[in-house]
Structure 1
Amino acid sequence: MQKYLVGTEEFSFNEDPNGNLYPISLAFTLDDFEFYYEPVDKLGIPFKIYQSVGKQYNPTRVAAYALANYNNFVEHSCQRSRETFLKCANWFLGFDDARYEYHFDWEDLQAPWISCMAQGEAASVLVRAYRVTNDGAYLDHAEKSLSPFFLPVSEGGVQSQLGDGSFFLEEYPSNCSTHVLNGFLYAMIGLREFCDSCDSAKHNALFMQLIESLNNNIGNWCNGSWSLYEDPAVKGGVNFCTPSYHNLHISQLKWVYTRTETPELRRVISSWESGKNSLPVRMRAFWGKVLFRLSNRAQR
């Protein structure tokens, strides 16, 4: 509730012309390590205890920990953060097929399943491990991590289509995927960062297709000057973002805008920023979230 009242700067945008930093700031997670990353295993890799399924490694949790430590290493020359980052990168490297599966059922997804968000964030981690070590094995594994982006959900990939036929990448790739925006944008970041390190016509072409999809359909995730977590036309309900996720969407779109300065994205960023800074809009989002949760209980 407090974040709705006063706002939040969580997931702010890292403006870095040199492209060294991961573009989404995760420093706040290290400041509250116990909440975001405990417990950890004997190698220091975080896992999570779910109420419904018990102990599980969540690839996006590992990736966030890696990227937060990478930024801390770059900004503060912290060697301990460098070591932690590489431990997490090696955890991803340990999956020979580079498919970072979730081994539990989640809503209508049945184990094992993969996520565009996990695959994309892993690529962001592995590309940076390549930069730090100059070991080509990391870059090769980053490319393999992105392979599901080229396959439809029906063939074990994460690619789907929006209502207009545009390509989309699914955070939760089920038969009735709801087009979760933040996972799609995390995936786009990983894809582009791989392209920056290894010029690939195939990957560049997909990235440009996804840019076009976003430009043509960003209105699907707009409700006034607030962002939506998923496409309401598919979900069947209006799932307002929390203030943290709303700020994440703004930061992710700012990153996209650095790659393609389209007027539509600039307009949406401006609108969402005005909503972020408006107490009445934040409270409207709060009550919208409450109403959504009353009929759509979250799995824990």
Structure 2
Amino acid sequence: MSNVTQVMFLRRAANLAGNYVLAPLLGRSSTSTYWYLPDPTNLRSEEDLARYHNFSPSPFYVIDYRTRTTYEFTSPDGILRLPYPNPIGPQINPEAAFQCALGWHDRYVLDGSHGARERFFLYADYFAERQTPTGDFNYLFDWFESTAPWHSALAQSRGASMMLRAFLLSGDDRYVRAALLALDRFDVDCSAGGYQAIFEPEGVIYFEEYPKEKNAVINGFMASLFALYEIGHWLGDRRCRDLFDAGIRSLERMLPYYTLPWWTLYDRGADAGRNVHSPRYQKMVINYLKALSVLSKSPTLRHFRDHWGRLDTPQNRAKAYFFKARRKLLYR
């Protein structure tokens, strides 16, 4: 191991220890203490689906992000900034911010929490003002191969769901325009500035979390489908409904490629077959499958929901922790 490699290894080890071990033990905010907050699904049954469709004045979100509102942070404008290690530093991550906004929305409509509506609209207005003319909610910091400014189907979907709820609560059409614009390029290939890519093993389309990398991150693809369903349902947008249906058909064919005999995979990038989910993300994608199987009524998704759930044993979680930590130490 060269001196440069040793330094990089030690730096990764220090960042991992600080982010995943010391911060939780010391009660400090870190990126991991945000992403690892519980987020169960709100859709588990046909009864949940009926309640979701009929909920007033605005539907609760498919994933329960109310715990995100408990995350302690400091910012001059009230918008969440995650404390990334140097050299990145504190940054607004659109996906993280939208989860927080949706948490505030649900605290308002489900709990009647004082001040939650105002906190929700703080986020909706902040991002409506900063959405690009082509609809992007850009990331303004570099993240490995993705150089700023970059965009993500994951964040676009979550942002569209936020804007839909801002419209339903306020009646202001500018939020409708923002929601539709956020999903406008979901049928455009990543190479042309859009969000759609081809999953080569099956030749089917999917929506990419990292368009510059095209790693087919499965949790990002799953989450990108939620807003397509919501805009199709609440705004009657046929294009979004068709994209949701196409995405479900693709997901049904992709899931076997992410299923190991003992666990599941995060992506199908350059080292396809080796980047396993952390136990936390395993739980998250199972919750996504629970929601998507209710929305789509797909027997295939129900099968993988149950099968992936059965893989989540203490022995397999321990094995996944080892492989995930090893990868982060050696690569990223």
User: TM exceeds 0.5?
Assistant: yes
- Given candidates 280, 287, 294, the residue that maps to 2:322 is 287
Shift of 1:192: 1.0
Q: Does 2:162 match 1:125?
A: yes
Find the aligned partners of 1:228 and 1:10 in 2 and give their Cα distance: 20
Shift of 1:237: 5.1
SS in 1 for 2:210: coil
Partner of 1:223 in structure 2? 260
Find the aligned partners of 2:132 and 2:272 in 1 and give their Cα distance: 38
Contact 1:148–1:157 (8 Å) recurs in 2: yes
Partner of 1:135 in structure 2? 172
**44-53 or 62-71: bigger deviation:** 44-53
TM-score by length of 2: 0.80
Distance 1:83 1:218, change over 3 A: same
- Give the counterpart letter for 1:83 in structure 2: E
The one-character-per-residue Cα deviations of 1:221-243 (angstroms, maximum 9, x if unpaired) are 222353221125x4345122122
The one-character-per-residue Cα deviations of 1:83-122 (angstroms, maximum 9, x if unpaired) are 1011111112112523111122221122211011111000
Where do 5+ consecutive residues of structure 1 fail to align? none
Aligned length in residues: 285
Q: Does 2:97 match 1:59?
A: no
Find the aligned partners of 2:97 and 2:142 in 1 and give their Cα distance: 19
Contact 2:37–2:67 (8 Å) recurs in 1: no
SS in 1 for 2:206: strand
Higher RCO, Cα 8 Å, sep 6+: 1
Contact 1:228–1:238 (8 Å) recurs in 2: yes
SS in 2 for 1:230: coil
Contact 1:167–1:210 (8 Å) recurs in 2: yes
- Give the counterpart letter for 1:286 in structure 2: Y
Shift of 1:138: 0.9
- Given candidates 281, 285, 293, the residue that maps to 1:245 is 281
Shift of 1:248: 1.2
Partner of 1:110 in structure 2? 147
Shift of 1:29: 2.5
Equivalent residues in 2 for 1:17-166, closer than 5 Å: 17=49, 18-19=51-52, 20-31=59-70, 33-34=71-72, 38-42=73-77, 44-50=78-84, 51-94=86-129, 95-97=131-133, 98-163=135-200, 164-166=202-204
- Given candidates 7, 12, 19, the residue that maps to 2:40 is 12
SS in 1 for 2:115: helix
Find the aligned partners of 1:96 and 1:158 in 2 and give their Cα distance: 15
Contact 2:66–2:100 (8 Å) recurs in 1: no
- Give the counterpart letter for 1:79 in structure 2: H
Find the aligned partners of 1:283 and 1:154 in 2 and give their Cα distance: 39
Where do 5+ consecutive residues of structure 2 fail to align? 1-19, 25-35, 53-58
Q: What percentage of aligned pairs have identical amino acids?
A: 27
SS in 2 for 1:227: coil
Partner of 1:191 in structure 2? 228
